[in-house]
């Protein structure tokens, strides 16, 4: 029977033959993933609309707050509470580890599992997230959408047995497609995938991700129109004298982002101590969110309606300031109590209210110098969101494409840089997602070592310090070989040249000094070699085999079935190579 590696080679060889070379194949699959993911996101958005229709008799997100505002008080309490109960039961009984999945799981899969993800878990996460948003939980849809995109691409690559680097590039295509489809922002989708998931900007990776993002944008615009998520006036910065104000706003955004993240985890820890079943926690959180919505219905769902009004300068200072606190509390409770969903939309909402409030306050203090407060609303959005996501480049691009406004480039760069740097200094983490993983005991700092171990092969570590003997060779012949040639290892082979065992000089002396050893042959004296390693295996694979067999060496072959020895891999050489790979990855 052919091995999995042979099957993988066979599939890839047939595809390369059909399409010319592997890079052309990569570009073709980037188109296919763009099509598949964009239609998946269309389905997800419609699913959110169906749940929202069931909970609030309206499936449009643009007027969610208006619909909620005219709902009766018991409806505002019942919808998120009942939705939380259903979501809690679903996650408890059907999701792996009884928790939702999102962008942190993509990052972990990329770092430690070659981008392999569980498609069933992704479908469950999409269903739970759609139900959470539709029921009014104060969460975002972008995180679940990105998880869907990554899972679709992972499922395709796993079915076709693609290599690790090929799979990771296509995973980036899935992420870019999802961001592009979710926000209608193809440029930002590309850079989000490169900045958050892939971590490199080489042309070989860049081109297929661009193609996937563009294809996804074309499909999504066919369904939802050629419009950004927020249509706002073009704002301008009146004077560079305002640069110190951008720095101050960046500091404010950093503090708000830190408070937001700390509150999410504080709620999570607090709810975890309550003497109630795990599946009931989202229901308790939903009731609390409903109570907040009685006064501020704008906080329900993704909150795009309120964010759009703030960008159009259609909100007073008192309401915007109150919504900072209300949305922060509602989103912390929703995410911390166990609702499924993302954190990006809440970050945009909170940032918009923070920036708008800041702009109105500055206008009162410096009426002759400050720009219109709508400009500060845009800056607040990008400041808080970039600080939470830890992705300043892609967040800036998302804001530019969302608002269709590139007139404030300098202001955006100053605010984003300040907010991101200060947040990372305060929290000690690169992003909210990294913080989530650390709380699970997963450290991405170790992933660079893991990646180096997985991407480096043993080809340069293989030694030719070996010789072979037939298994029928006598002890005298074996002894003479060690004495005259002094090989590091003597491999014992059968009549077809397949390795069966190995001997070192020390091992040979130990085995042949025992009573009755005169009748032994080289084959009976040798230590059996049940495990061999392929010449293109990774350092990680070799290390695991060495540990499992507790071996000091392994025979290196080019085919598992033929088992013809090409070289020997010594433990000491492998450990030195692993140390060098780790040093290079941290350089």
Dihedral sign of CA atoms 449, 446, 339, 395 in order: negative
Above 80 in pLDDT, residue 150? yes
Cβ density class 364-377: b for 16+ within 10 Å, e for less: eeeeeebbbbbbbb
Region 499-525: mean pLDDT is 76
To the question of domain 4-225 being in CATH 1.10.3080.10, the answer is: yes
Provide, for the chain, the percentages of residues in helix, strand and coil under a 3-state DSSP scheme, each rounded to the nearest 5. Answer: 70, 5, 25
pLDDT of residue 2: 46
- Per the prediction, the chain carries an average pLDDT of 84
Above 50 in pLDDT, residue 178? yes
Assign 459 to helix, strand or coil: coil
Pick the more confident residue, 8 or 104. 104
> Where residue 12 falls among pLDDT bands split at 50, 70, 90?
low
The CA dihedral of 301, 305, 310, 311, to the nearest 10 degrees, is: 120
Dihedral sign of CA atoms 347, 350, 353, 357 in order: negative
* 361 within 8 A of 401, measured Cβ to Cβ: no
CA–CA gap between residue 503 and residue 359 (Å, rounded):
78
Residues carrying CATH 3.10.580.10, the chain: 454-586
Element (H or E) spanning 360, and its range? helix 344-365
Per-residue pLDDT of 263-275, as tens digits, reads 999 999 999 888 9
CA–CA gap between residue 248 and residue 92 (Å, rounded):
44
Residues carrying CATH 1.10.3080.10, the chain: 4-225, 240-442
User: 500 φ, ψ to 5°?
Assistant: -120, -25
Pick the more confident residue, 288 or 223. 288
From residue 551, give the alpha-carbon distance in Å to each of 354, 493, 527, 547, 574: 61, 19, 11, 7, 12
> Where residue 250 falls among pLDDT bands split at 50, 70, 90?
very high
Q: Give the closest residue to 43 by CA, choosing from 231, 51, 432.
A: 51
> Where residue 583 falls among pLDDT bands split at 50, 70, 90?
low
The region of weakest confidence among 30-39, 459-468, 538-547 is 538-547
What pTM was computed for the model? 0.77
> Where residue 425 falls among pLDDT bands split at 50, 70, 90?
very high
CA–CA gap between residue 289 and residue 267 (Å, rounded):
13
pLDDT of residue 91: 93
> Where residue 408 falls among pLDDT bands split at 50, 70, 90?
confident
**Displacement of CA 185 from its chain's centroid (Å):** 19
CA–CA gap between residue 536 and residue 556 (Å, rounded):
9
Fill in the DSSP letter of residue 96: G
Q: Which of 27-31, 65-69, 253-257, 514-518 has the highest mean pLDDT?
A: 253-257
Q: Identify the bridge partners of residue 140 per DSSP, sorted by sequence position.
A: 342
* 116 within 8 A of 109, measured Cβ to Cβ: yes
User: Using H for helix, E for strand and C for coil, what is the string for 474-508?
Assistant: EHHHHHHHHHHHCCCEEEEECCCCCEEEEECHHHH
| Encoded tokens for 187 | 């440029």
Q: Which of 157-166, 418-427, 504-513 has the highest mean pLDDT?
A: 418-427
Pick the more confident residue, 514 or 330. 330
> Where residue 518 falls among pLDDT bands split at 50, 70, 90?
low
- CATH of 240-442, picked from 1.10.3080.10, 1.10.760.10, 3.30.70.520, 3.90.226.10, is 1.10.3080.10
pLDDT of residue 453: 63
Assign 372 to helix, strand or coil: coil
Could you write out the DSSP letters of every residue in 50-92?
HHHHHHHS---GGGHHHHHHTS-HHHHHHHHHHHHHHHHHHHH
Please give the share of the chain, as a percent, with pLDDT higher than 90. Answer: 36
Region 360-369: mean pLDDT is 84
Angular region, 550: left φ>0, alpha ψ -120 to 50, beta rest: left
pLDDT of residue 585: 53
Angle made by CA atoms 77, 78, 79, in degrees to the nearest 5: 100
How many Cβ atoms are within 10 Å of 153's Cβ, its own excluded?
A: 32
pLDDT of residue 62: 66
- CATH of 454-586, picked from 2.130.10.30, 3.10.580.10, 3.40.225.10, 3.30.450.20, is 3.10.580.10
How many Cβ atoms are within 10 Å of 481's Cβ, its own excluded?
A: 20
pLDDT of residue 1: 41
Pick the more confident residue, 230 or 14. 230
* 309 within 8 A of 315, measured Cβ to Cβ: yes
Given the DSSP bridges, would you call strands 527-528 and 466-470 parallel, antiparallel or unpaired? unpaired
Q: Which of 37-41, 54-58, 223-227, 469-473 has the highest mean pLDDT?
A: 37-41
Region 555-569: mean pLDDT is 86
């Amino acid at each position: 029977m052919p091995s999995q590696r042979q099957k993988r080679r066979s599939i890839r060889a047939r595809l390369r033959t059909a399409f010319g070379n592997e890079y052309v194949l990569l570009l073709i699959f980037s188109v296919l993933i763009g099509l598949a993911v964009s239609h998946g996101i269309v389905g997800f958005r419609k699913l959110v609309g169906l749940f929202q229709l069931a909970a609030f008799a309206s499936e449009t997100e643009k007027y969610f707050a208006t619909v909620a505002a005219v709902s009766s008080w018991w409806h505002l309490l019942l919808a998120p509470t009942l939705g939380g109960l259903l979501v809690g039961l679903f996650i408890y009984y059907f999701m792996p580890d009884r928790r939702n999945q999102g962008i942190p799981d993509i990052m972990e899969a990329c770092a430690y599992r070659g981008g392999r993800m569980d498609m069933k878990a992704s479908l469950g996460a999409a269903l739970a997230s759609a139900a959470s948003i539709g029921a009014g939980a104060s969460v975002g849809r972008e995180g679940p959408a990105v998880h869907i995109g990554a899972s679709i691409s992972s499922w395709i690559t796993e079915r076709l047995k693609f290599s690790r680097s090929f799979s990771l590039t296509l995973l980036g295509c899935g992420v870019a497609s999802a961001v592009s489809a979710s926000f209608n922002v193809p440029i930002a989708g590309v850079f989000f995938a490169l900045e958050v998931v892939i971590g490199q900007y080489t042309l070989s990776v860049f081109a297929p991700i661009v193609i996937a993002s563009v294809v996804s944008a074309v499909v999504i615009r066919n369904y939802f129109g050629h419009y950004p998520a927020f249509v706002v006036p073009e704002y301008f910065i009146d004077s560079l004298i305002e640069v110190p104000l951008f720095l101050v706003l960046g500091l404010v955004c950093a503090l708000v982002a830190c408070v937001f993240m700390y509150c999410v985890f504080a709620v999570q820890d607090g709810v975890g101590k309550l003497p109630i079943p795990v599946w009931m926690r989202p229901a308790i959180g939903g009731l609390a969110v409903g109570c907040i919505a009685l006064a501020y219905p704008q906080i329900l769902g993704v909150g795009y309606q309120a964010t759009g009004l703030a960008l159009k300068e259609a909100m007073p200072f008192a309401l915007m300031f109150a919504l900072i606190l209300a949305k922060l509390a509602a989103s912390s409770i929703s995410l911390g109590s166990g609702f499924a969903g993302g954190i990006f939309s809440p970050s945009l909402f909170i940032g918009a209210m923070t920036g708008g409030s800041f702009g109105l306050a500055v206008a009162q203090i410096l009426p002759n110098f400050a720009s219109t407060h709508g400009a500060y609303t845009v800056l607040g959005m990008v400041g808080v969101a970039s600080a939470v996501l830890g992705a300043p480049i892609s967040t800036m691009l998302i804001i530019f494409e969302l608002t269709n406004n590139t007139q404030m480039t300098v202001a955006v760069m100053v605010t984003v840089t300040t907010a991101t740097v200060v947040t990372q200094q305060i929290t000690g983490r690169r992003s909210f997602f990294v913080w989530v993983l650390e709380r699970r005991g997963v450290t991405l700092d170790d992933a660079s070592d893991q990646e180096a171990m997985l991407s480096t092969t043993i080809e340069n570590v293989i030694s030719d310090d070996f010789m072979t003997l037939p298994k029928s060779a006598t002890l005298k012949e074996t002894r003479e070989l060690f004495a005259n040639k002094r090989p590091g290892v003597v491999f014992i082979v059968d009549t077809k040249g397949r390795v069966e065992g190995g001997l070192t000089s020390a091992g040979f002396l130990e085995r042949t000094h025992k009573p009755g050893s005169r009748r032994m042959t080289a084959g009976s004296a040798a230590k059996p070699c049940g495990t061999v390693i392929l010449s293109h295996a990774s350092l990680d694979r070799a290390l695991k085999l060495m540990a499992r067999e507790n071996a000091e060496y392994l025979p290196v072959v080019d085919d598992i079935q033929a088992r013809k020895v090409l070289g020997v891999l010594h433990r000491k050489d492998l450990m030195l190579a692993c140390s060098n790979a780790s040093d290079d990855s941290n350089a």
